Structure 1
């Protein structure tokens, strides 16, 4: 099929080339032979009157025209997938659909076990691909590389719909033999202590973001990429970690740590789910969103029972 003399079948090949920035990787991605992909690139170069991909040293790079096409082509394919290729009905018990979710290790440890348990009961054939959080997660959503993002409201894109799942507070975590355990945790003692903080990937943790907004500078003595690991890293030290309360309570069941109320005022985190605006009518996405809400109730019920 052609539109303005462009073979629309070439859009899939173009998207793969722009994403993978290489002929062999692009061919592998959409299950074409390398020669077929090379032929597709030649036709695309002729249509756009641009090289699109050029050899620079041992790798290929996008031309400026190709960079300009990258997001536009992906948006077209996402729209087609959402409005034309999507199944009109979604029956959980009969589906084997794969849902791709971007989650932090905090969400992985607290919410996702309940999500998978509930999903297994309702839709045993449904599969989940849980992917790590990245900076600018909305770009992953817009490129159709994730179905749902589970992220704090402060990091949600204003271009796509979202809804809040639950609120989360923060607490102090200490080794239960720390010399800070016996006395009241004041703001002065908190700020004077050494801290274990989280720097997830190339982003910023919400706790750090809150601290910056409050104009508070902690003495960082250790940093880690994982939200769970500070509970392990304070053991045997007199350091403090600031952690999500649900995650800290979960860690306290198996580690020699204790928790304290935060001595400084920190806003609660509002954990949300976000999806692409073109996929609001997708029944599978709607089911997954309702599943997440049901899992929140199960998570907190289990937490109350363990308390």
Structure 2
């Protein structure tokens, strides 16, 4: 392609549309003499005179008339291809599917809000929520998952993360549970009730049980389920207690979520560290304009939904 000069394509587009060497030069920010030399080169390359004098104006040759139907689109395509991605990104015309791997709680509490938010800005975008069976990074590497939301539990060194919000564990039980008849929930009374534990892997150990080792207590784990939403449903319909992230009980958009589902949150009588909920993705998507826009939308939504949480009051339904 030694004879191909894309600068000539841009100059040809300007000359054919302006039909004036002076106006074409002004459009491309060149001198008139430089544009005249470019026209000479174009005539040599194409073997056609392209523009001819007709009195005080220039007219197109029949071949130039044919080119005028094709060159503008070619020039725009060449410029878009060789420009930075963000310069050709238009969210309103974006047609893409983003696959997210999240917990069921995120889908229940923010899935509809996120979908509405994305649809307003980009009607051609579809969201797909994939089940979160584990924390394996391979689907991110393989492009099967565009964005994961949750705790970072991968050792993959290349994976990118961004903090969305801070979360912490709280207790949850059905409204009217006898545990909450007294305002203060102590560890002895709490551990004496039956518990439903959440574990994606099926392991019957958690940070909660590790914290109980210090006072020398064990809770009575009667059921192990794979999701926090399942644990909450079981607590709603029984005297079982559950431990869930506080984000599962509601947010700024759904402040009455726990109460409307017959549940009440309370402070755990244990010192359990807070933890980060992050957006997780593969670095090949770092500079993709569509993915950058999508990440920013997710982060803004989470910031609005989960401002710093107040201390739970066990005497009333969790906000």
TM-score interval, smaller chain: 0.5 to 0.7
Aligned counterpart, 1:262? 268
> With structure 1 as the length reference, what TM-score do the two structures score?
0.63
Question: Per the alignment, do residues 211 and 156 of structure 1 end up closer, same or farther by CA in structure 2, a change over 3 Å counting?
Answer: farther
Paired residue secondary structure (1:159): coil
For each residue in 1:120-170, what CA deviation from the matched residue of structure 2 results, as whole angstroms up to 9, or x when unmatched? 111111111110113243111111111111121345743211111011122
Aligned counterpart, 1:119? 118
Aligned counterpart, 1:162? 161
Partners of 1:124 and 1:148 in 2: CA distance: 19
Aligned counterpart, 2:199? 199
Corresponding position: 1:223 with 2:224? yes
Question: Per the alignment, do residues 177 and 136 of structure 1 end up closer, same or farther by CA in structure 2, a change over 3 Å counting?
Answer: closer
Question: Per the alignment, do residues 107 and 276 of structure 1 end up closer, same or farther by CA in structure 2, a change over 3 Å counting?
Answer: same
Question: Per the alignment, do residues 135 and 152 of structure 1 end up closer, same or farther by CA in structure 2, a change over 3 Å counting?
Answer: same
Give the Å deviation of 1:287.
0.7
CA contact under 8 A between 1:153 and 1:164: conserved in structure 2? no
Partners of 1:122 and 1:92 in 2: CA distance: 7
- Bigger-Rg structure (1/2): 2
> With structure 2 as the length reference, what TM-score do the two structures score?
0.61
CA contact under 8 A between 1:135 and 1:203: conserved in structure 2? no
Aligned counterpart, 1:271? 277
Q: Is 291-300 or 277-286 further displaced after alignment?
A: 291-300
What RMSD over aligned residues (CA atoms) do the two structures have, in Å?
Answer: 2.9
Question: Any gaps of 5 or more consecutive residues in structure 2?
Answer: 1-83, 251-255, 311-317
Question: Per the alignment, do residues 126 and 260 of structure 1 end up closer, same or farther by CA in structure 2, a change over 3 Å counting?
Answer: same
Partners of 2:140 and 2:300 in 1: CA distance: 23
CA contact under 8 A between 2:169 and 2:243: conserved in structure 1? yes
Aligned counterpart, 2:239? 238
Partners of 1:160 and 1:203 in 2: CA distance: 26
Partners of 1:237 and 1:272 in 2: CA distance: 33
Q: What is the total number of aligned residue pairs between the two structures?
A: 218
CA contact under 8 A between 2:211 and 2:270: conserved in structure 1? no
Aligned counterpart, 1:214? 211
